Amino acid sequence: MFGFLLIMPKVRHYNNQKYRVNTDMYNETVMEHFSNPKNAGEMKDADAVGEMESPECGDTTKIYLKIENDIITDIKFQTLGCAAAIASTSMATDMVIGKTLTEAWELTNNEVVNALGGLPEKKIHCSLLAEDALHAAINQYRKKQGLKPW
């Protein structure tokens, strides 16, 4: 029970994709993003906020966006979760800052995992949170603009 065996989540679309998988341990990039996360914190005057809770493990991520001319000019996040959830959200926020909303929308958790140099196989599902929370934030913004959500 108290070991480090990790669960294989019953999750959806990532099973068909190829991920870089570290079999058991977190690599140094993951540990760096976990211990010194980029863009961590709250944003009081955000233009859009997206929050997502993982159905697998209850991890929760909230992403705040500052948007000017369709470009993400600032981003913050908060995560209650394991190291994989924190590190992948940190990496994802870093990857979309300065990008257009279209570009940000297209960022997949696969790209985030690869940018981190891989995650343990059973922690891949933790990286979906960032993608989902980002999508929620972008769609909230689109709705505010009177646009159809993607």
Partner 1 sequence: MTKSTPAKIIYMDHSATTPTHPDVVKEMLPYFTEHFGNPSSLYRIARESKFAVSKARKQVADVLGCTPDEIFFTAGGTESDNWAIKGTAFANKDRGNHIITTKIEHHAVLHTCEYLEKEGFEVTYLPVNEYGIVDPDVLIKSITDRTILISVMMANNEIGTIQPIKEIGEIAREKNIYFHTDAVQAIGNLEIDVHEMNIDMLSLSAHKFYGPKGTGALYIRKGINIGSFIHGGSQENGHRAGTENLPGIIGLGYAIERATQNISEHNEKISSMRDRLLDGIIETIPDVHLNGHPKQRLSNNINISVRGTDGEALLLMLDMKGVCVSTGSACSSGEESASHVLSAISVPPALARGSVRLTLGNENTKEDIDYVLDVLPPIVSRLRALSPVNNYSQ
Q: Which residues are catalytic?
A: 57, 126
Binding partner 1 (rule: CB under 8 A), the pick from 65, 104, 126, 130 is: 126
Binding partner 1 (rule: CB under 8 A), the pick from 44, 58, 146, 148 is: 58
Dihedral angle over CA of 140, 79, 107, 141, nearest 10: 10
Q: 94 near 138, Cβ under 8 Å? A: no
C-alpha 82, offset from chain centre: 12
Minimum Å gap between C-beta 121 and partner 1 is: 13
* 28: enclosing H helix or E strand: helix 28-35
Binding partner 1 (rule: CB under 8 A), the pick from 21, 83, 97, 115 is: 83
Using the minimum distance from each CB to partner 1, give the nearer residue, 37 or 95.
37
Token readout for 37 is: 């996360």
**DSSP single-letter state for residue 25:** S
Binding partner 1 (rule: CB under 8 A), the pick from 29, 51, 94, 111 is: 51
Q: Which stretches of the chain bind partner 1, using CB under 8 A?
A: 1-7, 26, 28, 31, 34-35, 37, 40-41, 51, 57-62, 78-86, 123, 126
